A and B are shown apart, each in its own frame.
Chain A
Amino acid sequence: MSERKQIQVPVMADLAARGETPEVLFWVGCAGAFDDRYKNVTRAFVRILEHVGTKYAVLGMEETCTGDPAKRAGNEFLFQMQAMTNIATFDGYGIKTIVTACPHCFNTIKNEYPALGGNYEVIHHSTFLQNLINEGKVKIAGGGEFKGKRITFHDSCYLGRANNIYEAPREVLAALDADLVEMKRSRANGLCCGAGGAQMWKEPEPGNKDINVERAEEAIGTGATIIASACPFCMTMMSDGVKSQNKEDSVQVFDIAELIAQAEGINA
C-alpha cells in the first residue's frame, strides 16, 4: 500500500522538552535551508530518513553557519565565534552523532570543531546512504527509473581530497543500476567546481574561463544525461556550467539523495 503522507520534521528543542534524544542530528546547512534548488535535496534526505525509520531531529531555527566560508576566506575570528556557538548548542542537547549532506559543514564539524572542544561522530550523507543500502534498508528494486541511464559523478573537493571519501557516493549510485561513467579527472584527481574557499560568494579573479564551465564541459563530454553531485555548491556550479553550454534540457544535475529518493519511489 502506498499513500501520500505529510512529514512533520522533528525539531531538537521539542524532543529535548519531551526528554527524548535522537539517534542522529540532521545538520541541514545554510544551502539546505535557503537555496531554492538545494532545498529539494534536504527534503529528499528527510524522506529517506522517514522511510527507513531513523530516529532523527533537526535544529530548525537554532541552526547557524558552521563558519566554513569564513575560515576558508581567512576570517578565523568569525569562524571560531560560529564554531563555539554551535558547539554550545550541540553540547546543550547532548548530541553525539551528526549527519549532513554538505561536505563543507561535514569537514568543518568533523575536523575543525575538535580543536575548539566539539567532538562528535560526523557522517556525510553519502556514507549514511551507503550504509542504508548495505543494510538493505533502501532496496531500490530493479534499480528503479534510472536503470541504464548514463550518470557521471562529480567529486566534491571537501568530500574527496579533503576527507578521502571517494567510494561511498559511487556505491550509492551503483544501487541505481545505472551506466556510471567517470570523467577523466576523477577521485583524487577530480577538478574543483570552482566554489570552494569562499569563491561561492565572490566573482572569480580575472582569467580566461570560469572553472565551473571547464568542469561542466568535461562532464557533458562523457555523454552522461545526469551529473550526480554530493555537495550544495557543486550542484549550483555544475547547474550553471551546464546552462552556459545550453545543455540544461539534455543534462540534469541531481544530488545522490534525490536520485535515491526518486528511485525508491518516496518523492511526493
Chain B
Amino acid sequence: MVVALAGIGLFVWQIRKIVRNINMGRDKTISGDASQRLKALLLVAFGQQKMFKRPLPAVLHLFVYIGFLVINVELIEILIDGVFGTHRILGVLGPVYSVLMAINEVLGLLVIIACVIFLARRNLTKVPRLTRGPEMRAWPKMDANVILITEIVLMVALFAFNIADQKLAQLSGHQLAGAFPVSGLMVDLFGSDVNTMQVIAGIGWWVHIVGILAFMNYLPSSKHFHIITSFPNVYYSKLEPKGQFSNVESITHEIKAMLDPSYVVPPAPEGTDPQKFGAKDVEDLTWKQLLDSYTCTECGRCTSVCPANLTGKLLSPRKIVMDTRDRMEEKGESPLLFNPAHYGQESERVKVTEERTLLRGYVTPEELWACTTCNACVESCPVNINQLSTIIDLRRYLVLEESAAPASLNTMFNNIENNGAPWAFSPSDRFNWADDLYTVSKN
C-alpha cells in the first residue's frame, strides 16, 4: 500500500507540473460543436483511425493499446490483493474471470510480439522515420527503447507469476481460479519445487506492480505520456478546414482603429501583450499548441510526408513539436528525468543561437521558411497535432516583430502593397486578359 500511494502521489505531483507548463501558453477559447469533438475523440483517439494509414504498425500498436486497456483490469486485482492480502480476489467472478484472464494472456503475448517487432524496426531494420533526423538524438532513441523493453518486462513478469501460481495450485491440489491459455502451456517451465515457485510468483507479482507504478512515473519524462494527452488533444483539435489559419484579432482592432478614428479598441485579455505579434517563445503559443507537444509520440509520420523534408530541407515538423516541449521543460517545470545533457548533440546543420528562446535558440528561421503550408504533417498525425499553426506563429514573429523575412518575400509584400499583386505588374494591366477574347458559339 505504501508503494502504491508513493507511486500515485509522485505521479500526481508530476502531472501538476505539466499542467503548470501548459498554462504558460496563451489563453485560447476552443469552442465548437461538442458532438463533432466527441466523434473525433471516438474515431481518432479511441478508434486510432489515423494510425491505419499505415496498416502494419497500426495493427501492432492496436495490440499494445488494447493490451494496455484490458490488462489494467488485472492491475486492479493486483492492487487489491496487495493492499488487502487477498489472492486473485476477482476470482469470485467465476467464468467471467476465466474469460478475462484468457483474453489477458492472449493480449499479453501479442504485446510481447508487437514490442519485439517494434524494437527490431527501431534498432535492426532502422525504419527511417523512427531513426533519422536532427531531432532523433540520444534521448528520444533511448526513450523509445526503454518503453518497449519495460512493456516486455512487465508482460514477462505477469506470465512468470501466472506460471508459478498454476504450478503451486497443481502441487497443492487446489483449483486455481481463471483460465490461462498461454502460461498454461508452460506450467513446468520452472520445475516443481514449492519454494522456488513461491519465490518466482513473488518476484513476478512484485516486478509487475512496482514496474507499473515506476513506469507511470516515467511517463511525464517520456513520449509515452501520449497515452494520457492524446485524448484531450484530439478532443480539442481543430474542427475548421485545415486551410483556415488563425486570425490575429489585435491586428484587426489596430487596422479598424486606423481606418476609423472613432473605433474603440476593446481591452486585451488579461496577461497578454496585445503589442506582441506571433510567437518567439513557448509562452507566446496557445495552451493547445503546448498540449500538442506533450502529445507527440515522435513517430515521425509528419516528417516522412513533409515535402520540404523529403527534398533535403532542414524543416522537420516533428522537430518543431519536440523543440517546443524541450524548451517548455527548460523554461518552466522539468519532469523527473529532464536533463538537457542526455539529449545528445544537436545536428551540425541546425545552427541555433545562444539566445534561449524557442525561435532561434531551438527552431531556426531556415526551418520555418522551408514550409509550404501544405498540411501534409497535420493530415498525417495520428493524434491531431497541428504542427503548422506553430510554424505560422513563429513566422509571424519573424515578419511582424523583426522584419526578418527573406528579401524575396519582402519584395512580394511590397508588390502587394503597391500594385495589389504579389508580382511587379501594373494594376492597370489587370484586365488585359479579356482583350480580344473569342469563343465558338454553338447556338
Contacts and interface: CB of A to CB of B under 8 A. Distances in A.
Most chain B CB neighbours (cut-off 10 Å) among A65, A189, A265: A65
B412 A116 contact: no
A63 B425 CA distance: 13
Interface residues of A, number: 81
Contacts of B313: 204-207
Contact of B440 (A63, A82, A116, A268): A268
B431 A188 contact: no
Given A205-B366, A268-B438, A198 B251 contact: no
Contact of B308 (A30, A64, A72, A205): A205
A194 B372 CA distance: 6
Interface stretch (B96-104, B240-248, B334-342): B240-248
Contact of B251 (A34, A63, A80, A197): A80
Contacts of B254: 77
Nearest to A28: B433
A137 interface: no
B421 interface: yes
B374 A2 contact: no
A7 interface: yes
A209 B312 contact: yes
Contacts, number: 246
Contacts of A204: 311, 313, 370
B265 interface: no
A73 B405 contact: yes
Most chain B CB neighbours (cut-off 10 Å) among A2, A191, A192: A192
Contacts of A60: 430-431, 434
A111 B438 contact: no
Interface string B229-243: 000000000001111
A126 interface: no
B429 interface: yes
A43 B434 CA distance: 7
A25 interface: no
Contact of A61 (B310, B373, B398, B430): B430
A58 B147 CA distance: 60
A46 B434 CA distance: 9
A240 interface: no
Interface in A11-58: 11, 28, 30, 32-34, 39, 42-43, 46-47, 50-51, 58
A135 interface: no
A5 B440 contact: yes
Contact of A75 (B400, B420, B423, B438): B400
Interface string A64-84: 110101111111111011101
A162 B242 contact: yes
Interface in B393-416: 395-400, 405-406, 408-409, 411-413, 416
27 contacts: A4-B441, A33-B433, A34-B421, A42-B433, A60-B431, A64-B420, A72-B392, A74-B405, A75-B400, A76-B400, A84-B259, A115-B247, A161-B375, A161-B378, A164-B241, A189-B376, A189-B379, A191-B310, A196-B374, A198-B409, A198-B412, A202-B408, A206-B313, A206-B314, A207-B312, A208-B311, A211-B310
